[in-house]
Amino acid sequence: MSRHERFQPLVVAATSAATTCRSAEIIELPIDAIGQQRLQYVSTLAQACGTQAPNLKARAQKQRQKAVPGMKDVIDITSRTGKTTRHLRFKDPLTDEWTKKKLGILGRDSILDMAAKAKAWQDDVAAGRSPNAGSILVDDFVGGEFTIWGEANKRSIADDLSRYALYLKAFIGHKELGSVTPNDFESIVQFLLAGNRAMRRGKLSNATINRALMAGRAIFRLAKKLGYISTNPAAGVDTLKETPPSPKALEGHEIDRLAKPLPTYPMLFQLLIRLLSVTAARINEIRQLRFSDIDYAQGVVHLRSTKSGEAQTLPLTSAVLAVLTALEEFRRPGNDFLFPGKSGKGPMSAPYKHLRKLLAEAGLEQAGFHLFRKTAAVQAMLLPGMDILTVSRMLRHKSIRTTEVHYLATPHQRLRQAANDVGEMLQARLQGGDQ
């Protein structure tokens, strides 16, 4: 209906009343769509007839609200159109001001569901959480408070943000924090398991999906801590079973093969390989080391960037000291990093290109820099009298189980030697018994 058609009955009524000048016709005009234009028509008509215009606004139905019996701080609000909505009044812990939040619409939504929702919100308020906080979009929360908190408190914040952007954002980024459910995360897991070339190439590994799920848990764990939600929707979602990766380590003859082409590479790269090998440290731990981290008095090297985020040290052995002495020649003014970046600021980037080329020249399987940490662990276990507890401490693992499962698959030569020793011992005893 056009605006002109909408007011046509008013025009006809006004014309008729102006002709007869009967004030009754003015008062009986329909008032279902009272607006400024209607008031102007009536005012003009009244002047023509020499009468006072009626107060049409006073006759319009006002919004009404009433308390719901037996439900504390719950009210029903009826609009001018007759629709009744149910609300909870509460003092918002975030703003310390009284406010209200809609529970539902009478006649459409379940009375029991609205009562349950009211109870949950009242429990939130009692616990110092705001029912309104959950209305923040996940994307806004991640880009705001989670990022700020993570940069100050979480070493893996960059990984979490990357996983959120890759695997979670498309599913829950547009949703309110309080509306995300465990089913949402279950659906994400199933979608990623199936694989989708529009998102990633091929199927994702269980480990990758688990890391995405862990990022989701971290996001909603903080949201719960800050009072935005009462439960973490990702907490109860089961992780997928991961097959422990087979430890990849170099055997003695493979180390010799790697050593042959190594001198043809830049000296800083050579020293990096040597320091990784003699410390059994992680690549990022070594990259972040500074000359000021070397404590000659205590005989240790202080690690700045550990996987656990805790302060740790490396023993300043003669092998480590030899590498550090060689690195002094590459020290740059204004850059305290052992391995400075090309720009002169910050540490060097991990030289994966050199590593891939080196392994290829040595005829070895491609691997990351973690290869040298695992090699150090396996070679340590081959030493006479060495035990797994000592190796675990050398790797700075909290659990021996981690060392055993992920690092110390029995190397071929050790297994062969053990089988040979046991065979010879038993054979000698059995033969002795025959004599």
Residue 249 has pLDDT above 90, yes or no: no
Q: Cβ(71)–Cβ(111) under 8 Å?
A: no
pLDDT at 46 exceeding the cut of 70: no
Query: Which of 38-42, 163-167, 321-325 is predicted with the least confidence, judged by mean pLDDT?
Result: 38-42
Q: Is residue 121 predicted with pLDDT exceeding 70?
A: yes
Q: How far apart are CA 276 and CA 255, in angstroms?
A: 13
Query: Cβ of 3: how many Cβ atoms within 10 Å?
Result: 7
Quick: pLDDT tens for 160-218. 999 999 999 999 999 988 889 999 999 999 888 886 554 544 568 888 899 999 999 99
* Phi, psi for 181 (deg, rounded to 5): -120, 165
Show the DSSP H helices in 206-317 as ranges: 206-225, 252-259, 267-279, 283-287
| Residue 11 pLDDT > 60 | no
The CA distance from 239 to 237, in Å, is 7
- The residues facing 294 across adjacent strands are 301
Residue for token pair 């199927």:
203
> How would you classify residue 301: left for phi > 0, otherwise alpha for psi between -120 and 50, otherwise beta?
beta
Overall average pLDDT of the 356-365 stretch: 93
pLDDT at residue 228 above 70?
yes
Q: Is 410 left (phi over 0), alpha (psi -120 to 50) or beta?
A: beta
Instruction: Tell me what the mean pLDDT of segment 387-412 comes to.
Output: 78
- Which two three-digit tokens encode residue 91? 């003092």
- pLDDT above 70 covers a percentage of the chain that reads 78
Q: What is the pLDDT of residue 422?
A: 76
pLDDT-wise least confident of 4-18, 171-185, 223-237, 239-253:
4-18
- Which span out of 5-14, 94-103, 217-226 was modeled with the highest average pLDDT? 217-226
Q: Tell me the mean pLDDT in the region 346-373.
A: 92
Question: In this structure, what is the dihedral angle of CA atoms 166, 169, 171, 177, given to the nearest 10 degrees?
Answer: 150
Cα dihedral sign for 347, 348, 352, 358?
negative
CA nearest to 393, candidates 317, 321, 319, 312: 312
Share of the chain above pLDDT 90, in %: 38
Q: How many CB atoms lie within 10 A of CB 193?
A: 13
Residue 39 pLDDT class (50, 70, 90 cuts): low
Q: At residue 412, does pLDDT exceed 60? A: no
**What is the mean predicted confidence (pLDDT) over 14-18?**
45
pLDDT (0 to 100) of residue 270: 95
